[in-house]
Amino acid sequence: MPHRVNRRWVLARRVTDEVSEANFRFEEAPVPDLTEGKLLVHNRWLSFDPTQVLMIVQRDPAAPDEGGLPLGEVMHTLAVSEVVESRHPEFSSGDIVHGHMGWEDYTVTDGTGFTPVYRVPDGVPPEWAVGALGLTGLVAYFGVHEVAQPKAGETFVISGAAGGVGSIATQLAKIYGLRVIGIAGSRAKREWLLEEAGVDAVIDRRSEDVGKRLSELCPEGIDIYFDNHGGPTLDRVLEHLRPGGRVVLCGITSLYRADPAPPGLQNYASLIMVNGRMQGLLGRDYLPRRSEAFAALLPLLRSGRLKSKEDVLSGLREAPKGLARLFSGDNVGKQLLRMDEPPAR
């Protein structure tokens, strides 16, 4: 492809505080060569997820290579892409696929990675494929449906309620007949949760005393807590668990960049007193069961009962901003980026 360049963002400096464009370097390079068993894709939509920062964070100044992504390497992401050329037996030119790609126009892949490459089903919008029906949707669906084991009428509290996973999990909890209380950190998020997601109440973790508000809103306790935030909020919730209460540990956005690491949980003994259960939720464990989530979520999305809330940036130049917005709290819903076309040469 001599008439095209491959614009890309590479890691220039590890994250030691806030995520910013200064952590990356924008550059142009030739489009990668294609070898046997691989495919060349043109990336169309990029996904941003809080756990991406774990690849690039540095907590120990004496360990410059602490993160999983080497300096100078293209930043990794999940993406929806179009196959430009294939020497892979399972894919053909023109296929729309989802997989582990990069912050770049073109990626060469062998189809493996954290998330193996698969074809996006016909009729599925790309923004759904990389969001509500991607890893984000899998985590929300199996976290609520299987790990939380909900029963109609129970009280369900969720932190990060208007984020990528949270916005789907919150709505599923309502669909399953639960009383839902969302915890969020901005006016825009509170408004969306109340007006669009239909939650029963919202707690602003930035301006309200979370423990006090939980006492007011949940006088009889909490049956399920879906945790996307971690930190002191989890401690406050543990104080309010009902007998048989369940805690789903999905994410810890408040702790991914914490240096030094904050003290551990103080109220974990509350689980003993209520015969409670706390269980971790790792999205990649459910990748082999993707078809189950598709079968459950796609009809809900098409009917409008489940709303896919997306926060969309445009143009590859905006990629660092997409990751930074997850930690500033500026995004509402799933943070995505719609790629622009690379310049012709």
Instruction: Read off the tokens for 188.
Output: 């825009």
Contact 98, 109 (CB under 8 A): no
The residues with which 100 forms a beta bridge, in sequence order, are 78
- 164 Rama sector, left if φ>0, alpha if ψ -120 to 50, beta otherwise: alpha
Instruction: Read off the tokens for 321.
Output: 């901003």
- 162 Rama sector, left if φ>0, alpha if ψ -120 to 50, beta otherwise: alpha
With CA atoms as reference, report the closest residue to 246 among 265, 264, 215, 224: 224
Predicted structure pTM score: 0.93
Tokens 């969302």 locate to 182
Give the HSE-up count for residue 255: Cα atoms under 13 Å, Cβ half-sphere.
16
Contacting residues for 282 by C-beta, under 8 A, at least 6 apart = none
Tokens 């930690």 locate to 327
Give the HSE-up count for residue 62: Cα atoms under 13 Å, Cβ half-sphere.
0
Per-residue pLDDT of the chain (345 residues; tens, 9 = 90+): 446 789 999 999 998 888 999 999 999 999 988 999 999 999 999 999 999 998 998 655 545 555 589 999 999 999 999 999 999 999 999 999 999 999 999 999 999 988 899 999 999 999 999 999 999 999 999 999 999 999 999 999 999 999 999 999 999 999 999 999 999 989 999 999 999 999 999 999 989 999 999 999 999 999 999 999 888 899 999 999 999 999 999 988 777 665 666 667 888 899 999 999 999 999 989 999 999 999 999 999 999 999 999 999 999 999 999 999 999 889 999 999 999 988 776
Domains, the chain, ordered by start? 5-130+309-338 (3.90.180.10), 135-284 (3.40.50.720)
